[in-house]
Amino acid sequence: MTENGAVSDTQRADQFRRLHPLTPVLRGWKVFAAAVALGAQQAYGRDTPIGWLLLAVAASIPIGVVYGFVSWRTTRYRIDSEDLRLDTGVLFRRSRQVRLDRLQAVDVVRPLVARALGLAELRLEVAGGSSAEAPLAYLSEPAAQRLRAELLARAAGLHHETPEAPESVLVKVPLRRLVEGQVRSVGLIAAIVVLVALIAVAATTGQWSVLGVFVLPALFGIVPALVRTVIVHFDFTVAESPDGLRLRHGLLETRAQTVPPGRVQAVRLVQPLLWRSRDWYRLDVNVAGYAGDGQSQTSVLLPVATRDEAFAVLRRVLPDVDLGAVATYGVPGRARWVDPVSWTGNAAGADDKVFVARRGRLRRETDVVPHERVQSVRLTQGPIQRRLSLATVHVDTSPGPVHPTAHHRDAADARALLDAEVTLARRSRAGARPDRWMRPPERPAGPTVAR
Amino acid sequence: MSEPFDPPGQPWVRVSPRLATLRRLLLLALGVPVAAAAAVLVGLLHRSLGLAVGIVALAGLAWGFVVLGRRVRSWGYAERDDDLLVTRGVLNRQLVVVPYGRMQYVDVTAGPLDRRFGLATVQLHTAAAATDAQIPGLVPAEAARLRDRLAARGEARSAGL
């Protein structure tokens, strides 16, 4: 295998491309900084002469440089009409082929240091992987943009020199709304109430030490999460192009995601309790390649949006779907015995395009999954549900934050819902759009391709 | 009272009762020594208490014996034109419908004890991790037939993701 591979490699070597030469520097500086920090920590307070430490660090530099250079030399990639090939590894060589028609998403990620050097990482997401299948780190920014356009054009079935598709911005999330959305969380409000109560207690009793015991851990638990969300979703922009939806966000590390049409497996519309007066929503999605690795960053389609914005994006993701027109049916009153608070919010239904499940009373969630994306359908019933003649219907899609579930329905009704979903999913699978979304389908396709 | 889990117009194919035998033997092999040890240890401290522990443990084993039989009898599957249905469970019941076109791969597994008892497990995988479609306690010939048939139908009805 190696012999043949070597021969064909040399023949087509001119088509192989390399990563940016600064890649080893960017990859190496973290290790170097960590080594220095560790060394300094070890040496601190001991009588190890600082000279030895410097010597050790100095000795590690050439080794690191040589390894980085060899690693860069041995990493190369090639794109042809069907797939991307990526060869990596110094000691253990690995050659990976990624089928472009199975591409689920393409992300351009720019960590802070890479931005300073004008570099970017290109991540190709393919279904079934726990992390990005073929990360190309690092490329120069223009190269990353060009490559992204080329990959998407090839994946769509167009000529690879097709110019980058034009885009129109759909939504830009203002910073003020992003911050306010985070502040309007029940957890934060509760924490502030507790804090005020504790200060009152401390002031009356004079026992100020309670503050340190209770408040600091609470602050360390809540505040970083809020700040992190704001940093990650900073300047969140959703744009539309024939390539698919383009999401751009981030303050320190910026991320530009491209999700081609038809790659969204399921969508969730969330409205936390304190967003209701503003009529704001969050949109989460299941995209096959995004499961696992950094899912909380990549699976957000809109962090905070007004109703109009949320529905505008929803229409782009699920064309021909009018969420308001899908009739959903609630659950019988006896469901209160298993779900005392939110049973009134539970509802489910379907039209000929999508399955919709609503739940929650205080925090409202609506899960939407197109029938053609349904992987399997399950009916479950626990002992208490059985006594009450209730059952739950689960619609399984590719892994992600959205699990469309119709909780605690009347048992006979649940079975009817299951059977209906199976039939609807079968019909829409037959008319599904082709993987290469710009190329005319090889067989006559059904009405779902209309857009 | 069990309408929601009724078979889909064709009867469930049940799994081999040998699965119940195997699981019961495992229960006895693990449970009897543990029960005996507990009874003897407590009996050394207090005789009548040891007797009580022994009786409770025996009752527990007998109950497990019955439950295992019911659980194995609850497994069933049905092959339809476009999908496979699998049902299971006594206390927590489940019915899963997996379209052939959604299958990514099929596993047939058999451990050493399974092989001695002439049993095998068939498991279907889709792109959804939540899909829970496994059928234990199949005769190897039936497991192989099912695997080939599922693979053939999956090929014919394949859809992307």
Co-location of B56 and B86 in the same domain: no
Question: Is there a single domain that holds both residue B67 and residue B86?
Answer: no
Structural domain span for residue B147: 76-156
B3 in a domain, yes or no? no
Q: Report d(CA A167, CA A286) in Å as an integer.
A: 23
State whether A280 and A407 are in the same domain: yes
Separation of alpha carbons B148 and B150, rounded Å = 5
pLDDT at position B122 over 80: yes
Domain range holding A353? 263-432
**Interval A250-269 mean pLDDT:** 90
Interface test with B, best of A375, A380, A408 (most B CBs within 10 A): A375
* pLDDT at residue A445 is higher than 60: no
E-assigned strands of B10-156? 13-14, 76-79, 83-88, 93-99, 105-109, 120-125, 133-138
Nearest Cβ partner for A411 among B4, B82, B157 = B4
Same domain membership, residue B152 and residue B81: yes
Q: Is residue B12 part of a domain?
A: no
Q: How far is A434 from chain B (nearest CA, A)?
A: 8
Option in A372, A422, A435 nearest B97 (CB)? A422
| Distance from C-alpha of B32 to C-alpha of B48, rounded to nearest angstrom | 19
Q: Which of A355, A376, A388 to mutate to test the interface with B (most CBs of B within 10 A)?
A: A376
Q: Of B71, B96, B114, which residue is a domain's last?
A: B71
Residue A284 lies in a domain: yes
CB < 8 Å to A265, chain B:
161
Same domain, A228 and A269: no
pLDDT tens, residue by residue, A380-420: 999 999 999 999 999 999 888 899 999 999 999 999 999 99
Tell me if A381 and B133 make a contact (CB, 8 A cut-off): no
Question: Inter-chain contact B4–A391, Cβ cutoff 8 Å?
Answer: yes
Same domain, residue pair B145 and B120: yes
Tell whether A339 and A421 lie within a shared domain. yes
Residues B122 and B92 occupy one common structural domain: yes
Is residue A423 situated within a structural domain? yes
Chain A CB contacts of B99 under 8 Å are: 376, 422, 425-426, 429
Indicate whether A412 belongs to any domain.
yes
- Judged by CB atoms closer than 8 Å, whether chains meet at B102 and A426 is answered as no
B161 domain residue, yes or no:
no
Domain shared by B45 and B97, yes or no: no
Based on the fold, state whether residues B87 and B139 are members of the same structural domain: yes
Here the CATH number for the domain that contains residue B92 is 2.30.29
Is A451 a domain residue? no
B99/A422 touch (CB, cutoff 8 Å), yes or no: yes
Q: Could you give the number of structural domains in chain A?
A: 2
Q: What percentage of chain A carries pLDDT values higher than 90? A: 38
A303–chain B nearest CA distance, Å: 25
Residue B133 C-alpha, separation from nearest chain A C-alpha, in angstroms: 9
Q: Mean pLDDT across chain A, nearest whole number?
A: 83
A267 and A228 in one domain? no
DSSP E strand boundaries for A228-263: 237-241, 244-249, 254-259
Interface of chain B toward chain A, CB-CB under 8 angstroms: 1, 3-6, 8, 82-83, 91-99, 101-102, 104, 126-133, 157, 159-161
Sort out which chain A residues have CB atoms less than 8 A from B98's CB and list them. Answer: 375-376
DSSP string, A274-305: GGGGGTEEEEEEEEGGGSSTTHHHHSEEEEEE
Query: Does B86 reside within a domain?
Result: yes
Residue A421 to chain B, least CA–CA distance (Å): 10
CB-closest option in A398, A414, A435 to B128 = A398
Query: What average pLDDT does this structure show over B54-66?
Result: 92
Give the Cα separation of A357 and A368 in Å (integer): 7
Better pLDDT: A2 or A422: A422
Considering the domain architecture, whether residues A183 and A288 belong to the same structural domain is answered as no
Q: Which helix (H) or strand (E) holds A306?
A: strand A300-306
A347 lies in a domain? Answer: yes
Residue-wise pLDDT for A188-204, tens only, equals 888 788 888 888 888 88
Considering the domain architecture, whether residues A189 and A269 belong to the same structural domain is answered as no
Main-chain phi, psi angles of B17, to 5 degrees: -65, -15
Cα distance between residue A396 and residue A378, in whole Å: 8
CA distances from A204 to A191, A198, A199, A207, A305 (A): 20, 10, 9, 8, 43
Q: Does some domain include residue B152?
A: yes
Backbone φ and ψ of A173, nearest 5°: -90, 115
CB-closest option in A383, A396, A411 to B3: A411
Residue A101 included in any domain: no
A196 & A337 share domain: no
Query: Which one, of B141, B60, A367, A310, lies nearest residue A358 by Cα?
Result: A367
Q: Which of B1, B97, B98 sits opposite A418 (nearest CB)?
A: B97
Name which of A374, A378, A386 is nearest B95 (Cβ-Cβ). Answer: A378
Residues A273 and A371 in one domain: yes
pLDDT at B1 over 60: no
Q: Is the same domain home to B118 and B98?
A: yes
For residue A377, the chain B residue with the least C-alpha distance is B97
Same domain, A218 and A323: no
Residues A338 and A202 placed together within one structural domain of the fold: no
Nearest by CB to B93, from A380, A389, A396: name it: A380
- Note whether B105 and B134 are same-domain residues: yes
Whether B150 and B119 map to the same domain: the answer is yes
pLDDT tens, residue by residue, A200-244: 888 888 777 777 777 777 777 778 888 888 999 999 999 998 888
Q: Answer whether residue A440 is part of any domain.
A: no
| Least CB–CB distance from A394: residue in B130, B159, B160 | B130
Domain co-membership, B61 together with B98: no
* Count of domains observed in chain B: 2
The complex's ipTM works out to 0.88
**Same domain assignment for residues A273 and A421:** yes
Confidence of residue A132 (pLDDT cuts 50, 70, 90): low
CB A437 within 8 A of CB A242: no
Question: Do residues A185 and A328 both lie within one domain?
Answer: no
Question: Is the Cβ pair B92, A435 closer than 8 Å?
Answer: no
Q: Which residues of B touch A128 (CB under 8 A)?
A: 104, 127
Lowest pLDDT segment from A81-90, B86-95, B136-145: A81-90
Let me know if A139 is exposed, middle or buried by CB neighbors in 10 A (0-12, 13-18, 19+): buried
Enumerate the residues of chain B whose CB falls inside 8 A of the CB of residue A377. 96-97
What stretches of B3-114 adopt beta strand conformation (E)? 13-14, 76-79, 83-88, 93-99, 105-109
CA distance A403 to A16: 41
Mutation target for A interface from B1, B3, B70, B97: give the one with most A CBs within 10 A: B97
HSE-CB at A447 with a 13 A cutoff on CA atoms is 6
Comparing A111-120, A184-193, A399-408, B60-69, the range with the smallest average pLDDT is: A184-193
Distance from CA of A128 to the nearest CA of B (A): 7
Same domain, B120 and B145: yes
Assess if residue B4 is contained within a domain.
Answer: no
Contact A426 B133 (CB under 8 A): no
Is residue A438, in this structure, part of any structural domain at all? no
pLDDT value at residue A105: 86
| CA–CA dist A46, A68 (Å, integer) | 32
